[in-house]
């Protein structure tokens, strides 16, 4: 038991915890990523698969992950080690936390680049650049912004810096108020935009694009992306919710919290999608325009509607805030691990890991210009490969093992004490966690092995290497202890 490291802090209330978790879940994933991957993958069927994944896989894993954090009482690596120890299972489960630490840093490296773009667009709007803008000008504004790596680098660096500064001061204090304002604000502006969308004359088309499904056009690869996005958008699979769950008090309800997180997150994504596609169809744009979709469409709306300058400026400010509350949660597993297990101060860990993230982010910065057509595997450049590896492989794998641990390996009395469900709901939860979730993830993976074998092999090789290093360290430590 001497290996147990317990965290002493906790959220000051249930509401604060829910707000922090929603702050983590709602971010660029909902506003930027969801519309563009839905557009890339033909809408309809993709959106329905995504929604199904949220309900069937996302919700049970979200609940499990928070429960693991609350039961393990530490950063994800240590929490898994604690729980494996208590459940008399192998300490290798700590590798699950490790996968999350790594995935979080990798995701953050492109997250800050996109958040930087949103920050650039905040200033664009502030300067009145959107006033009366037409679709072609919106397009070239975006192209001009991303074609210059120095511009992207500047905003990326600024976002990394902001993340470091917030994280090193501690996640909870000042952010509470920020999230308090951001959430309702973002929701309100999305409603204003929805109002605008209904006046474009293409709202019906947008609705049909999002919800009328033609499953014959859906590829297995799209299913993999949809499933991966369910993990991404709910912030699950890498230990963020575990890290946040470690601060959840015994008297709080994690089932209630999970449902609120899922509803808020899905609502914001669907709203963003409806707005973006209304603008797409009203202006004869292509839904599959890729990562630039949000930035090429919304300025048109702000340029045309009344008080668009004000709404545009506020909107991008809120997007930056939403991105920041997610960014700090992406790095939290790594920070708390460095703090608790490696004796770093919060600030030191933040600067070290932040610099690492900044450096890896250079690859994404270049992926929008010089390296855009530098395909590494298949038709994926650095950014899209990194996104695919983290969102579509590492997160679902993390989620799979979280589910497997909770359903099969965790000591039943510890599990029961965490999952407050009873009767039929508990049976349903257990059933989906035992069978549905793992089978779904494995099936989607298996269906993609043929076409993605090179990407999967790459991930396997890297993780075996890192894992080997980790096991080596553990063995060495075990030897030290026994000496």
CB 331 within 8 A of CB 108: yes
Question: Using the rule CB under 6 A, is 326 a contact of ligand TRP?
Answer: yes
20 vs 419, beta carbon nearer ligand TRP: 20
Closest residue (Cβ) to ligand TRP? 29
Residues 98-127 that bind ligand TRP (CB under 6 A): 107
Question: Using the rule CB under 6 A, is 258 a contact of ligand TRP?
Answer: no
Question: Using the rule CB under 6 A, is 76 a contact of ligand TRP?
Answer: no
Q: What's phi and psi for 285, nearest 5 deg?
A: -90, 170
30 vs 135, beta carbon nearer ligand TRP: 30
Candidate residues 7, 73, 240, 278; the one interacting with ligand TRP per rule CB under 6 A: 240
| CB of 411 vs ligand TRP, minimal distance in Å | 26
| CB of 111 vs ligand TRP, minimal distance in Å | 7
Q: Which of 263, 282, 250, 226 is nearest to 396 (CA)?
A: 226
Candidate residues 87, 233, 266, 340; the one interacting with ligand TRP per rule CB under 6 A: 233
61 vs 252, beta carbon nearer ligand TRP: 61
CB 197 within 8 A of CB 27: no
| CB of 214 vs ligand TRP, minimal distance in Å | 27
Both tokens of residue 178?
A: 């920020």
CB 75 within 8 A of CB 339: yes
Q: List, as one string, the DSSP characters of 242-279.
A: HHHHTT--TTS-HHHHHHHHHHHHHHHHHHHHHHHHHH
CB 289 within 8 A of CB 295: no
Say which residues have a Cβ less than 8 Å from residue 61's Cβ, sequence separation at least 6.
Answer: 231, 234, 236, 237, 399, 402, 403, 433, 437
Triad 203, 229, 37: Cα angle to 5°? 45
Question: Using the rule CB under 6 A, is 29 a contact of ligand TRP?
Answer: yes
| CB of 133 vs ligand TRP, minimal distance in Å | 26
- The Cα-based distances of 149 to 62, 115, 211, 355 in angstroms read 37, 15, 37, 18
Q: List, as one string, the DSSP characters of 103-131.
A: HHHHHHHHHHHHHHHHHHHHHHHHTTTTT
Question: Using the rule CB under 6 A, is 392 a contact of ligand TRP?
Answer: no
- Which residues on neighbouring strands pair with residue 392, listed in sequence order? none
| CB of 104 vs ligand TRP, minimal distance in Å | 6
139 vs 336, beta carbon nearer ligand TRP: 336
Please tell me the distance from the alpha carbon of residue 75 to that of residue 261, in angstroms, as a whole number: 21
Question: Using the rule CB under 6 A, is 28 a contact of ligand TRP?
Answer: yes
Question: Using the rule CB under 6 A, is 329 a contact of ligand TRP?
Answer: yes
Distance of CA 149 to the CA centre of its chain: 25
Q: Which of 155, 199, 185 is nearest to 315 (CA)?
A: 185
240 vs 455, beta carbon nearer ligand TRP: 240
Question: Using the rule CB under 6 A, is 459 a contact of ligand TRP?
Answer: no
Question: Using the rule CB under 6 A, is 235 a contact of ligand TRP?
Answer: yes
| CB of 244 vs ligand TRP, minimal distance in Å | 10
196 vs 244, beta carbon nearer ligand TRP: 244
* Total length of the chain: 483
Question: Using the rule CB under 6 A, is 330 a contact of ligand TRP?
Answer: yes
CB 69 within 8 A of CB 243: yes
- Tokens 């045309």 locate to 304
Candidate residues 17, 21, 22, 27; the one interacting with ligand TRP per rule CB under 6 A: 27
Q: What's phi and psi for 378, nearest 5 deg?
A: 60, -140
Candidate residues 19, 25, 68, 105; the one interacting with ligand TRP per rule CB under 6 A: 25
- Write the burial class of residue 345 (CB in 10 Å: 0-12 exposed, 13-18 middle, 19+ buried): exposed
Question: Using the rule CB under 6 A, is 94 a contact of ligand TRP?
Answer: no
| CB of 105 vs ligand TRP, minimal distance in Å | 11
Question: Using the rule CB under 6 A, is 268 a contact of ligand TRP?
Answer: no
Candidate residues 110, 209, 232, 371; the one interacting with ligand TRP per rule CB under 6 A: 232
Please tell me the distance from the alpha carbon of residue 259 to that of residue 227, in angstroms, as a whole number: 18
Question: Using the rule CB under 6 A, is 367 a contact of ligand TRP?
Answer: no
62 vs 141, beta carbon nearer ligand TRP: 62
Computed from CA positions of residues 410, 106, 356, 168, in that sequence, does the dihedral angle turn out positive or negative?
A: negative
Question: Using the rule CB under 6 A, is 278 a contact of ligand TRP?
Answer: no
Question: Using the rule CB under 6 A, is 163 a contact of ligand TRP?
Answer: no
- Binding segment for ligand TRP among 9-17, 19-27, 48-56, 450-458 (CB under 6 A)? 19-27
Q: Which residues contact ligand TRP (rule: CB under 6 A)?
A: 24-25, 27-30, 107, 232-233, 235, 237-238, 240, 326, 329-330, 395
């Amino acid at each position: 038991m001497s290996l147990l490291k317990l965290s002493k802090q906790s959220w000051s209330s249930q509401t604060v915890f829910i707000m922090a978790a929603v702050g983590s879940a709602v971010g660029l994933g909902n506003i930027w990523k969801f519309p563009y991957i839905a557009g890339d993958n033909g809408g309809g069927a993709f959106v329905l698969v995504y929604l199904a994944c949220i309900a069937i896989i996302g919700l049970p894993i979200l609940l499990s992950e928070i429960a693991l954090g609350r039961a393990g009482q530490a950063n994800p690596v240590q929490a898994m080690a604690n729980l494996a120890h208590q459940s008399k299972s192998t300490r290798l489960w700590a590798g699950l936390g490790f996968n999350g630490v790594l995935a979080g840093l990798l995701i953050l490296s492109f997250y800050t680049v996109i958040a930087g773009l949103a920050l650039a667009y905040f200033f664009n709007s502030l300067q009145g650049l959107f006033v009366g803008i037409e679709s072609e000008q919106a397009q070239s504004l975006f192209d001009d912004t991303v074609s210059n790596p120095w511009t992207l680098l500047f905003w990326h660096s600024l976002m990394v810096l902001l993340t470091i500064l917030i994280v090193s001061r501690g996640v909870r204090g000042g952010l509470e108020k920020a999230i308090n304002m951001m959430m309702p604000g973002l929701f309100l502006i999305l409603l204003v935009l929805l109002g605008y969308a209904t006046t474009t004359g293409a709202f019906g088309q947008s609705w049909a694009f999002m919800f009328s499904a033609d499953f014959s056009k859906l590829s297995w690869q799209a299913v993999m992306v949809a499933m991966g996005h369910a993990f991404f958008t709910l912030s699950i699979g890498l230990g963020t919710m575990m890290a946040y769950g470690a601060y959840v008090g015994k008297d709080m309800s994690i089932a209630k919290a999970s449902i609120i997180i899922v509803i808020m997150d899905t609502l914001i994504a669907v709203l963003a999608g409806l707005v973006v596609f209304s603008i797409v169809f009203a202006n004869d744009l292509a839904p599959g325009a890729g990562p630039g979709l949000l930035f090429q469409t919304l300025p048109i709306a702000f340029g045309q509607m009344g008080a668009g300058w004000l709404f545009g400026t506020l909107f991008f400010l809120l997007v930056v805030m939403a991105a920041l509350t997610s960014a700090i949660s992406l790095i939290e597993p790594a920070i708390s691990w460095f703090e608790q297990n490696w004796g770093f101060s919060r600030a030191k860990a933040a600067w070290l890991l932040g610099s690492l993230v900044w450096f890896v982010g250079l690859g994404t910065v270049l992926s929008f210009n010089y390296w855009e057509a530098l395909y590494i595997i298949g038709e994926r450049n650095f950014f899209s490969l990194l996104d695919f590896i983290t969102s579509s492989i590492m997160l679902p794998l993390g989620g799979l093992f979280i589910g497997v641990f909770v359903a099969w390996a965790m000591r039943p009395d510890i599990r029961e004490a965490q999952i407050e469900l009873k009767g039929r709901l508990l049976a349903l939860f257990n059933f989906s966690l035992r069978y549905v979730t793992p089978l779904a993830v494995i099936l989607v993976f298996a269906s993609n092995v043929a076409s993605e074998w090179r990407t999967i092999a790459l991930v396997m090789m890297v993780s075996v290497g890192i894992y080997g290093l980790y096991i080596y360290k553990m063995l060495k430590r075990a030897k030290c202890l026994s000496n």
